[in-house]
Structure formats: C-alpha cells, structure tokens
Structure 1
Amino acid sequence: MGEKRSNHTVFNLNYHFVWCPKYRHAMLEPIEDSLEACFRAVCDEYEYDILSLHISPDHVHLFLSTHPKYAPSEIVRTVKSITARKMWEQHEPYLEEYLWGGGFWEQSYYIGTAGTVSSETIERYIERTEHV
C-alpha cells in the first residue's frame, strides 16, 4: 500500500467495500473458489489492485487500491454486476435454491477509505502549510 504514480498523478487510494448476497443468505461458502477467481479476474481487467479479499458465508470484504479516475460507486457497481452475472452462469441450479426472482447481491454496500496517514496528520500538515 503506498503511493502509486501515473503520468500526471501521484495517489494512494484504498477502499474497503463490504456487501451481502440477496436476503443475506449464508450461501457463499460452496461457491467461494469460483467467486474469488471471478473477483480477481474482474479486478485485474479493470486495474483494481486487490489488497485483501475475504468471502464469508453471508458477506464479502474487498479491500482494494486503484487510480483516482475510478469513482468508488463505479468500482462497486462493476464488481458486483460482473460477479453476479458470472455466478449465475456457473451456479444457476444452486443459486435458484436461495435467490428466487434473480439478483445476486443486495443493492446496499459499505465503503470506507484507508491510507497511510490519519486525518489528524493531514489537518496538522494543512495548518502548517497555511502559515508559510
């Protein structure tokens, strides 16, 4: 997790996402391996660097780093929609037991940000540079 560079940008953006399958069913364990492979493929394709991924039976934690050109809402929409479609393609008979009417993920999600410095450190830095 450190600073990354592109042509005109130096950045360190890390997002922690958490979301659940529809109805918060504890159904992810039997499909965990294919779901993890799908997360990794999507993140590779869209240039999201996975820092940590944990799949629990009833929710997912995805901690990633990416370029600032990607909005967090775009990231979560992309990852959730592609993984949902792929899981239905690969596991339809299994998913039909839990997810009547289609869908895969709940619409809601949690997002938090993380960096290498605290907000207090940033505030002190801004205050110091303001008085120069």
Structure 2
Amino acid sequence: MSPRWNPNPDIRTGRHVVYNLHVHLVFVTKYRRGVFTDAMLTRCDEIMRDVCADFEAELKQFNGEHDHVHLLVHYPPKVQLSKLVNSLKGVSARLLRKEYSAHVRRYLWGGHFWSGSYFAGSCGGAPLTVVRQYIENQQRPVG
C-alpha cells in the first residue's frame, strides 16, 4: 500500500478479497412480548459479540427495547448470513433463558424466545443511485 494512503478500518482484506460488508439485523421476541430488561439487553449484547467473534465478524452497534433488538454487524464475505443469524438467535435464546429463567417464563413459554423471522438490511457504502451512476459511467471499450 502507498504510504500516502490512509487506511479505512472498515475496509478489510483477505487473501483474494477486499471487502466492507455491513448488515442491520432486527430480531423480535416471540409474540412481541416485552421480556427485555436493561440487564438482559446488556447480557444479550455480550453474547452476540461473542457469537460474532466466532464468525470472524464484529458487532459494531447493539441496542434494543422491551420486545426487539437491533444489531449492526461487519462481516466477511465467507460468512453465510443465515447461519450467522441462526447462531445469534440460538445461542442468545439458550443463554438468556438459562440465566434469566424465572423472568423469561413470565413472558415466554414453549421453548421459544425469538420470533422465527428477522429483518436483514445491507447498509454502508454509497447509495444505490451513486453506485448505479458510477457503473454506468465506466469507460467501456468501443469495437
């Protein structure tokens, strides 16, 4: 790399790849029950950071309310997003149910913690209109 180049910490490199992938995830509790307390959200943050680290991903931001959590995850291209989500939800559900069992049982039953669905939105980088314009303006060879 050129010494004049200021590295961006979000742009990472692998053996054959340069990447900057972020995803915004939202997980909702089963039946949207308001189970979370401040202490539970703090613990959920810790659990999810550990799970992300196991996938060589980084949990950049975490927060939540009584019935859902938001995550901003920076992940490598080798990570299959659905597997990361499955692990995040599975591990956090198991540990939160175990560590806060009496509290959780008041709101949730039947072995479920999270709703089966989730939101995943790609984010970061330039807006789509800018990327489209950049691609459109490439110097395509004629003939």
> When the two structures are superposed, what TM-score results if normalisation uses the length of structure 2?
0.85
Q: Deviations over 1:46-86 (max 9, x none)?
A: 22211211121111000111001112212211100111111
Query: Identical aligned pairs, as a percentage?
Result: 30
- Structure 1: state its 5+ residue gaps: none
**Pairing 1:90-129 to 2, within 5 Å after superposition:** 90-129=99-138
Structure 1 vs Structure 2 CA RMSD: 1.5
1:7 is paired with a residue whose SS is: coil
The TM-score with structure 1 as length reference comes to: 0.91
Counterpart of 2:36 in structure 1 is 28
Structure 1 consecutive aligned stretches of length 4 or more whose deviation exceeds 4 Å? none
Q: Is the CA contact (8 Å cut-off) linking 2:41 and 2:63 kept in structure 1?
A: no
Cα deviations across residues 90-127 of structure 1 (Å, max 9, x unaligned)?
Answer: 11122111111111100111111112211112111211
- Once the two structures are superposed, what CA deviation does each residue of 1:19-51 show, in whole Å capped at 9, x if it has no partner? 111111111115222222111221122222112
Q: Would the aligned equivalents of 1:2 and 1:116 in 2 still touch at CA under 8 Å?
A: no
Name the structure with the higher helix share.
Answer: 1
State which of 52, 60, 66 in structure 2 corresponds to 1:43: 52
* Bigger radius of gyration: 2
Matched length: 132
Question: Can you give the 5+ residue segments of structure 2 that lack an aligned partner in the other structure?
Answer: 1-8
* Pair 1:69 & 2:85 matched: no
Partner of 1:19: 27
